[in-house]
A = this chain, B = another copy of it.
Amino acid sequence: MFIRFITTGGTIDKIYFDDLSQFEVGESQVQHILHEGLVGFDYEVVPLLHKDSLDITQEDRQMLHDHIAADDGDRYVVTHGTDSMAETARALADLEDKVIVLTGALSPARFRSTDAVFNVGMAVAAVQVAGPGVYIAMSGQVFEAGHVRKNRAQNRFESA
């Protein structure tokens, strides 16, 4: 089995410097999480974007779409900021014959307490078990693209 991980930024990769700096998107935490998860499959991590979820444009989504469409793989895990993850999932929904799972985190992977490790674990299982399609793995659940939204008030993903 081979999984291609595409990272686009978001809270999962946030890093903090000091009082004069802001909290910025740092290098991908996916590699670290897979190492800690003691995974036995082959994979590659492709850092495609490095943006907050709210800064991702339609051009970015098109680039991600075209990148996957042109790629020779079958299974993709895309890490993404949470605020526009559902929108990006919809933009990929016409990619048939591939399994694509988007995930991310509500608190940064570098935190002592974070949902990032759990979420990437979910995405890795979903991308190998689910049939072709686009999914979001967040809040302990695997949702289909187009049937999920982030409830900002509750700070969780839910069916829609």
The reply to whether B38 and A139 contact each other, CB–CB distance below 8 Å, is yes
Question: Closest approach, in angstroms, between the C-beta of A32 and any C-beta of chain B?
Answer: 10
Copies per assembly:
4
Interface flag for A122 (CB, 8 Å): yes
Question: Closest approach, in angstroms, between the C-beta of A17 and any C-beta of chain B?
Answer: 8
User: Interface size bucket, A side?
Assistant: 35 or more
The reply to whether A1 and B118 contact each other, CB–CB distance below 8 Å, is no
The reply to whether A20 and B152 contact each other, CB–CB distance below 8 Å, is yes
The reply to whether B129 and A37 contact each other, CB–CB distance below 8 Å, is no
The reply to whether B22 and A114 contact each other, CB–CB distance below 8 Å, is no
Residue on B nearest A104 in the bound complex, by CB: B19
Residue on B nearest A156 in the bound complex, by CB: B40
Residue on B nearest A157 in the bound complex, by CB: B40
Contacts of A22 in B (CB 8 A): 22-23
A16 with B23: in contact, given A33-B118, A140-B41, A158-B40 (CB under 8 Å)? Answer: yes
Question: Which residues A136-151 have CB closer than 8 A to chain B?
Answer: 137, 139-142
The reply to whether B106 and A18 contact each other, CB–CB distance below 8 Å, is yes
The reply to whether A129 and B125 contact each other, CB–CB distance below 8 Å, is yes
Contacts of A137 in B (CB 8 A): 125
Q: Mark A103-119, 1 if CB is under 8 A from B, else 0.
A: 00011101111110111
Contact of A124 among B34, B114, B122 (CB under 8 A): B122
Residue on B nearest A38 in the bound complex, by CB: B115
A18 with B155: in contact, given A41-B140, A106-B38, A142-B129 (CB under 8 Å)? Answer: yes
In the A-B complex, the 8 residue pairs with the closest CB atoms: A121-B121, A39-B140, A37-B118, A122-B125, A118-B121, A125-B125, A40-B139, A23-B23
